[in-house]
Chains A and B, each alone.
Chain A
C-alpha cells in the first residue's frame, strides 16, 4: 500500500544510455511493459520490491482484522468481515503472482518477509483494540489504500496494473463496510460514540503515514515517477485522502485529532499539522507495537503449514507416477 513499498528500493541501472532512452520512450508513449520485454534491471528490481511489499501488506493486513472475526457483534458483520479478510488474502495472491512474472519466486519473497529484508505497510503494526477499530480500518486504511491503488491501475508494468484493477473493484466494499460500522456506532449510545472517537484518535495519524515519507524526504520517488510506476507523489496522495476524508468524519460527528487542521480556500484543500516521522520510521524499522507479533504469526503459519505443502506435493508426485505406470 503502498508507496511505502519503495522504501529501500534501488532504482539504479547500468544499461547503455541508448537502451535506457528507448525504454523511457516506450514509457512516455504510455506503452505497457510486459514480463518478457527488455527492461532496465533497476525497473525490474524496483517493481519486484514494490509489488512484493504490496503483497506482504495485503497478507499481514489480514491479521489485525482477523483478530475480530470471532468477536464480530452480529452474524451479518461477521460474514462481511470474513469476506473482506478473504479478499485481502486474494489481493496478496494476485500481487505475488504479478511479482513472480519478474523472476522472483514466491518462496524467496516469503523468506524476505520473514527475515525482515522486505517490509510491509507500517499501518498493520498497530493493534485492533475495539470493534470500532474494524470500522476505522475499513474506512481509513482501505480508504487510503484505494487512493494509492487507483493510480496504480495505470502503472507501466502490465501485470501490476491488471492486478490493481481487480483489487480496486473489490476495495470499495471494504471501505463502505468500515464506514457503515462507524455510522452505526456514532448513531448509537454514548459509550459507542466514545469508542468510535477513540478509534479515530488512534488510527488517523498512522493512516496519513501510509502514504510514505513526505516528498522532500522520499529518495526513490523521482525515478519511479519517470518510469510511471508511480503517478502521484506521496504528499499529493495524502492531500487527496485528507480532503476526501475530513468531510466524512464531520458527517459522523467525529473530531479529527489534529488541532491544526483547517480548510484553506486558496489551495482548495485542508492544511494539516506536522506528521510524527520519528514514529513512522520507528514502526517501519520494527519498533511498532505489533511488529514482532505480526512476523511471529506469519512465521508460525509458514512453518506449521510446511507439512501440508510437502504432503500435497508428495501426493501429486505419487499420483503422477501411478498414471505413468498405468499408461505403459
Chain B
C-alpha cells in the first residue's frame, strides 16, 4: 500500500487576515488531514480557520527560472508613484 498522501496546511489566525502556510502533514483524506492539522498546528489558539490542500495539487513556479519569470517587473519603474515629478506646491498626492 502506498504512502499516506501529503497535505499543505494554511491557517488564518483571525478574521481579517489571510490564511498563511504553516507546514504540511500526512492524512488519508481531507477530513483526517483537517483534524490532524488542528492537533498539530493549533494547540495554542493559533487559528480560527484551517485550509488543507493536497500538496500534489499545487503548481509552483521554478526558482531556477525566477529571473525570467519576474523580469518584466524589474524595468517598469513607471509603475511606481516616485516615477512622476509633481511640484511640491501641489501638496501631498
Q: Residues of A with Cβ closer than 8 Å to B?
A: 34, 36-38, 83, 86-87, 90, 93-94, 97-98, 100-101, 105-107, 159, 162-163, 170, 309-310, 312-313, 315-316, 319-320
Contacts and interface: CB of A to CB of B under 8 A. Distances in A.
When A and B form their complex, which 9 residue pairs have the shortest distance between CB atoms, in order from nearest?
A: A312-B28, A316-B29, A97-B24, A316-B28, A313-B28, A36-B63, A37-B63, A310-B1, A93-B40
Contacts of A315: 28-29
A interface: dominant SS: helix
A90 B43 contact: yes
23 contacts: A36-B62, A36-B64, A38-B64, A83-B43, A86-B43, A90-B40, A94-B23, A94-B40, A97-B23, A97-B24, A97-B25, A100-B6, A100-B24, A101-B24, A106-B3, A107-B3, A312-B28, A312-B32, A313-B1, A313-B4, A313-B28, A315-B29, A316-B29
B42 to A, nearest CB: 10
Interface in B28-79: 28-29, 32, 39-41, 43-44, 60, 62-64
Contact of B29 (A38, A87, A90, A312): A312
Nearest to B31: A316
Interface string B1-28: 1111010000000000000000111101
Nearest to B8: A97
Nearest to A37: B63
Contacts of B62: 36
A163 B9 CA distance: 13
Nearest to A163: B23
A34 B63 contact: yes
Contacts of B40: 90, 93-94
B2 A313 contact: yes
A312 B4 contact: yes
B36 to A, nearest CB: 8
Given A36-B62, A310-B1, A87 B43 contact: yes
Contacts of B28: 309, 312-313, 315-316
Could you say which of A97, A106, A309 has the most chain B C-beta atoms within 10 Å of its C-beta?
A: A97
B68 to A, nearest CB: 15
Contacts of A320: 29
A36 B60 contact: yes
Nearest to A313: B28
B13 to A, nearest CB: 13
Contacts of B29: 312, 315-316, 319-320
Given A87-B43, A313-B1, A313-B4, A106 B26 contact: yes
Nearest to B30: A316
Contacts of B44: 170
Contacts of A319: 29
A58 to B, nearest CB: 12
Given A90-B39, A97-B25, A101-B24, 4 more contacts: A159-B23, A170-B44, A312-B29, A313-B1
Contacts of B32: 312, 316
Contacts of A100: 6, 24
Contacts of A98: 23
Contact of B4 (A83, A163, A309): A309
Nearest to A83: B43
A163 B41 CA distance: 11
Contacts of B23: 94, 97-98, 159, 162-163
A93 B38 CA distance: 13
Nearest to B33: A316
A315 B32 CA distance: 11
Contacts of B6: 97, 100
Contacts of B43: 83, 86-87, 90, 170
